[in-house]
Amino acid sequence: MDLRKEFPELKRNLYPDIEPYSTGFLKVSDLHTIYWEQSGNPNGHPVVFLHGGPGGGTSPSNRRFFDPEFYRIILFDQRGAGKSTPHACLLENTTWDLIEDIEKLRGHLEIPEWQVFGGSWGSTLALAYSQSHPDKVTGIVLRGIFLLRKKEIDWFYEGGAAAIFPDAWELFKDLIPENERGCFIEAYHKRLNSDDNETQFAAARAWTKWEMMTAHLLPSEETIKRGDDDNFSLAFARIENHYFVNKGFFPSDSYLLDNIEKIRHINAVIVQGRYDVCCPMMSAWDLHKAWPQADFKVVPDAGHSANEPGIGAELVAANEKMKNIINRN
């Protein structure tokens, strides 16, 4: 279904840059404090943005997918990421901790229910949160589907995607000695948790660059340069790797697909780039087959990043569709 044909009033462009009207820090455990912000309409329909990684943190451009006159836009940095503290911390950092944090933030902001929006790892967390608290979710918009299954991890981190990006893969591969290349996830885990800071940073840069070099259909120099930022890379790589080593802390490989029944009734849109190398379309297709009630939009000329024009346009369109549904109700 083409949402722009169904709703001709939908806008293709992202909304203009806006600044938050309130920001703060919420202590969610004895150890962790998370950064949050609100922008848009203080009396609008609440939507929570779940960033990727995990470990990626939020950025100002994330606000631009939402109509600021209609939405009360809530962004927050997950444990150890962005402005949240302690930085790059793996202790008390699981999917279930993050789900509790989302609920604590909802309570702190006195929001009865909200729309959930997430891409990449954010789609994983959005599904897990919505399945845990379906009564608190008014709608779901997902992008670049990642179900954290073994075949997805193996594809991207154990050599599958190297068939498409052999040059970028070589940089990722060469950091690891040949005798440890049987499992790159474990080899990087060892280095990202080394007692030596430079060993950690070197592994973090290599891990982050691999993802940043493959995130767009046409490589983005601006995105690739994020791998040079040691502060960003350490949180991004350490936390991602921690979640992948622990299989997302899910009880089974198919946990998210097995629990679709809990959210089948919720209005949802799935947006997927056809040539997404980081989160290949097989996962979005599997989700679509398990959840045919959700609108499914494949962007034919896009890779993984939400910043690609076709994906950004479809995400705006998806939020406009949600807005129309809310207004009709």
Which residues are known catalytic residues?
120, 276, 304
Instruction: Give the span between the Cα atoms of 251 and 125, in whole angstroms.
Output: 15
HEC-encoded secondary structure of 34-56: EEEEEEECCCCEEEEEECCCCCC
Which H helix or E strand runs over 8? Answer: none
Say whether 279 sits in a helix, a strand or coil.
coil
Strands 33-40 and 268-273: unpaired
Q: Is-contact 40 73, C-beta < 8 A?
A: yes
Query: Exposure string (b/e) for 25-53, b if CB count within 10 Å is 16 or more?
Result: ebebeeebbbbbbbbbbeebbbbbbbbbb
Which two structure tokens, joined as six digits, stand for 322?
């949600």
Tell how far CA 229 is from the center of its chain: 20
Helix residue ranges per DSSP H, 158-196: 166-174, 184-192
Q: Which of 90, 83, 78 is nearest to 125 (CA)?
A: 78
- Say how far apart CA 99 and CA 102 lie, in whole Å: 5
CA 237 – CA 224 distance, rounded (Å):
14
3-state helix, strand, coil in the chain (%, to 5): 45, 15, 40
Q: DSSP code of 250?
A: -
Q: Which residue has the tokens 């309409």?
A: 41
According to DSSP, residue 159 is labeled S
Give me the helix-helix angle, 184-192 and 197-214, nearest 10°.
140
Tokens 């660059």 belong to 209
